């Protein structure tokens, strides 16, 4: 399995591609799939703020569009010295694909914290709710 340090570096590289003319808040993400493949993403802002998409959803969407459905870890790197946490919609998006997936959040200083999607989004609305 890929080392956490390699995933953090992949997320950092992805953050450099962020399109953030409004917030200037560059975020990168890396998703390790059960297949061993890694997909990365960066946040992409839009003048119509609702059109903005977060780095986590970009990385996951790339993976899903390539047929991936099982995820081993998500890494999120932000520009703050303390770890950057996924927003609510990203938490909900991740919950669709596994509540027990670890999410490692990393700050610019290297400080990190890891929590599962379940811990980030207690009482998540999941596909089971639609049965």
Say what the pTM is.
0.95
What is the Rg, in whole angstroms, of the alpha carbon atoms belonging to the chain?
14
The tokens of 30 are what? 């890396």
pLDDT tens figures, 19-68: 999 999 999 999 999 999 999 999 999 999 999 999 999 999 999 999 99
Phi first, then psi, for residue 53 (nearest 5°) are -130, 135
Any catalytic annotation for residue 56?
Answer: yes
Query: Of the residues 9, 56, 96, 111, which is catalytic?
Result: 56
Taken in order of first residue, the domains within the chain and their CATH numbers are 4-130 (3.40.140.10)
Phi first, then psi, for residue 116 (nearest 5°) are -80, 165
Are the C-beta atoms of 15 and 55 separated by less than 8 Å?
yes
Q: How far apart are CA 117 and CA 93, in angstroms?
A: 10
């Amino acid at each position: 399995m890929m080392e956490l340090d390699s995933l953090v570096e992949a997320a950092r590289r992805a953050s450099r591609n962020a399109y953030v003319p409004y917030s200037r808040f560059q975020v990168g993400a890396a998703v390790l799939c059960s297949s061993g493949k890694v997909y990365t993403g960066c946040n992409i802002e839009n003048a119509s703020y609702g059109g903005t998409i977060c780095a986590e959803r970009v990385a996951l969407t790339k993976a899903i569009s390539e047929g991936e459905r099982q995820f081993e870890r998500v890494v999120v790197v932000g520009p703050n010295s303390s770890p950057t946490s996924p927003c609510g919609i990203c938490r909900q998006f991740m919950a669709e694909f596994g509540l027990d997936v670890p999410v490692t959040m990393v700050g610019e200083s290297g400080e990190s914290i890891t929590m599962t999607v379940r811990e980030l989004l207690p009482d998540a609305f999941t596909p089971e709710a639609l049965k």
